[in-house]
A and B are shown apart, each in its own frame.
Chain A
């Protein structure tokens, strides 16, 4: 996200965010000159400037703020557990500091700065990462190989679903945490020898909230054809369901390949999906 790596550096925090106490400490630090290292006991609580609403996993997030000049600032992050120090910076003579932080997992995050035992305000943001849906809590409406590599047209698709029985419905709970889902539809290359050769599979993905919020168009794939499917705008979706049907009824025993289904989510893991989640409004 471009906002996270904006080259423009805010010159200062909004005036209302700078406390009187901090201003005094900063003024004292400036008066004392650059060579006077402030005693840790005199360090005031640092401040962290507002952050972008969201970043992607692996993206560099620049955290800016102010602290007592010359102090070492620990920039800490938390994603559901304990605070951990993600970066350290030294406040400049003017009290400004800047540190680069990267998140390695998705999910709501908090960011703060700490000097000594003084912690700053806490900023919150969403961290989006791509989740392999085959490794998430899942409901499959028929026999299936779950989290298996598939081959479509010679290309390998790890973490796939091979669903049997002629039709497929696969469900996940996304709980308004995800923005986009992608997968590749096809037939498994290795099953071609026992086919008629003219089978096709059709598929759609639906995002469900109170009703059917949105759906992809119908996608068709034949043998050795990998058909990518993408559905965006899932922000209000509570559940996702991918459906697939083999068009040739003689194709008993063939698998529908949902290749490497992934969703971009502000979550490290999706919630469990139960049988009661499979009703369609």
Chain B
């Protein structure tokens, strides 16, 4: 039996007809509006020539992928970032993020009459993050940004060349520094970490453990130096050698670590009476685009 031409063209049999009919009706009712919304669709190279204009415009709008305007290359975790892009008019835009795993929703927005949408979001955690806009099942192009956060080195994988207590609060002078590293039984303990080019800056307060002053003679001093190393073993930069004493903690700050694959922090204790004192890396932190540092292995030592 020949198929009715109208039914064949516009009304597929069965369930598809029931789903398609309302969409067609909506498209006809919203003709002028859908036509006005064809701007973003055209901007994405969707042609409107085929079929009656309102229906084609509606189909084009449905087919258009949302866009996401370029993002800043890097942001700090916890800061608010403005997002904008285009989508079919009056559409719900879901902005999704991915950091190595599955896509998850970041925020939502609704596009206006012209198809433009704006939103803002806060990125949490560190690492290279992919972002995209999604309308329905249509996903736009993926953009990436580096999200930086401060990592406590005391809680990260690393190597220590001496006896150490890691992730302890330690008083230096009159102030207590959480997440510190205490080292002893060595005149020059060194701690090592892998940065893998993901970090920018190290900060720490270096000094002597105020709780040990009672068994010291007060003449002890210390020195410290932080060095970033590239993969080829060359130095990407160092903090310079800083010296201090019981009442002279020193602030260590090393920037320009972006090319460093490894970081070492040396402390040197001058303890003439050999009182078994400790040197302290108070709250050592690195700013990294990473959720955590990689393990430091024997082959990573120079």
Contacts and interface: CB of A to CB of B under 8 A. Distances in A.
B163 interface: yes
Interface string B284-302: 0000000000011110000
B155 to A, nearest CB: 7
Interface residues of A, number: 22
A272 B155 CA distance: 11
Given A140-B163, A275-B182, A146 B158 contact: yes
B229 to A, nearest CB: 17
Given A275-B182, A275-B184, A148 B157 contact: yes
A145 B163 contact: no
A244 to B, nearest CB: 15
A143 B162 contact: yes
Q: Is the interface of A mostly helix, strand, loop or mixed?
A: mixed
Given A137-B168, A272-B168, A275-B278, A146 B159 contact: yes
A149 B166 contact: no
Contacts of B160: 140, 143-144, 146
Contact of A274 (B155, B159, B168): B168
Given A145-B296, A145-B297, A272 B163 contact: no
Interface string A114-157: 00000000000000000000011111111111111100000000
A58 to B, nearest CB: 19
B161 interface: yes
Contacts, number: 66
A273 B278 CA distance: 15
A138 B167 contact: yes
A13 B255 CA distance: 63
Interface centre among A135, A149, A190 (most CB of B within 10 A): A135
A148 B193 CA distance: 11
B184 A140 contact: no
Given A135-B155, A275-B184, A275-B278, A148 B165 contact: no
B112 to A, nearest CB: 34
A147 B165 contact: no
Interface string B263-278: 0000000000000001
Given A145-B296, A149-B295, A273 B165 contact: yes
Given A135-B155, A144-B164, A146-B160, 20 more contacts: A136-B167, A137-B165, A137-B167, A138-B167, A140-B163, A140-B164, A141-B185, A142-B162, A143-B159, A143-B160, A143-B161, A144-B160, A145-B298, A146-B157, A148-B295, A148-B296, A148-B297, A272-B165, A272-B169, A274-B182
12 contacts: A136-B167, A139-B166, A140-B163, A142-B162, A142-B163, A144-B160, A145-B298, A146-B158, A147-B157, A147-B158, A148-B296, A190-B298
Interface of A: 135-149, 162, 190, 255, 272-275
